[in-house]
Amino acid sequence: MRKSRRVALGLTIVAVGMAPLFVLPGRDFALSTFVATGCMGAVAVASGGYRKLYSPRAWTLALGVTSAAGLYALFYAGNLAIAAFHPLGVGAQAETSIYALIASSGNPVPLQVLVLACDSLGFESYFRGTLQAHASPRLGGAAPFAVAAVDALIHAASLNILWVVATFLADSVWGLTYYRTGDLSSSVLSHFVWDIAIFMVAPIR
């Protein structure tokens, strides 16, 4: 099978695996996450060369933490703008519906952490380590944004415009982090630190 067809097949598997995130009730979000990220991990491993994507060094890990902090600050500023201007009619209800999937799911804290760990590892393994790695030779510095747009388009199934925009912004930051370091550890760490901060430690509402 030609590489382009394998990529298309992998994207289809991932998109179908993500469907439960948007159609199942919030109480099933943990299970939905495990299904979705399991599909992502399987596709990433099947694509080959997965272990070579990790080359953690002090500066790449530091950049991961820094990009997580910068992304949190971006979302904090965005929350203030939403509260003040309500762009496209977006308000607090759209934010609450996203937070409810994680923090208000009724799951114990260890399970919430596990869900966020799988979220960061699965999404980064596929969207950065597989899809962006495939797109980078052709698109160069535009690859992080192209891949972010793909993930955002899949999230359009949620019918939550704020979730779509948030996905594009977050994916762009993680994509640029990976593009700069060439080390998947940096974007996985950035994603996980941001997840823990914004969903559990200091939610922005």
User: What are 132-143's pLDDT values in tens digits?
Assistant: 999 999 999 999
The phi, psi pair for 149, rounded to 5°, reads -65, -35
Which pair of structure tokens corresponds to residue 201? 């430690």
CA distance 57 to 5: 34
Q: Which of 32, 28, 69, 33 is nearest to 202 (CA)?
A: 69
- pTM summary value: 0.91
Burial class of residue 196, CB neighbours in 10 A (0-12, 13-18, 19+): middle
Domain encompassing residue 11? 3-201
User: What are 76-107's pLDDT values in tens digits?
Assistant: 998 888 777 766 565 555 555 555 566 555 67
pLDDT at 158: 85
- Reported confidence tier of residue 28, pLDDT bands at 50, 70, 90: confident
Is residue 121 within 8 Å of 141, Cβ to Cβ?
no
Is residue 148 within 8 Å of 179, Cβ to Cβ?
no
CA distance 69 to 183: 18
The answer on pLDDT for 42 being more than 80 is yes
- Please count the CA atoms within 13 angstroms of the CA of 190 that sit on its side-chain side: 33
- Could you report how far apart the first and last alpha carbons of the chain are, in Å? 47
The answer on pLDDT for 159 being more than 70 is yes
Is residue 38 within 8 Å of 31, Cβ to Cβ?
no
Give the chain's domain count. Answer: 1
Mean per-residue pLDDT of the chain: 88
Residue of 131 and 4 predicted with greater confidence = 131
- Secondary structure in 3-state letters for 64-87: HHHHHHHHHHHHHHHHHHHHHHCH
Is residue 50 within 8 Å of 135, Cβ to Cβ?
no
Number of residues in the chain: 205
Is residue 161 within 8 Å of 90, Cβ to Cβ?
yes
Sign of CA dihedral 129, 131, 136, 140: negative
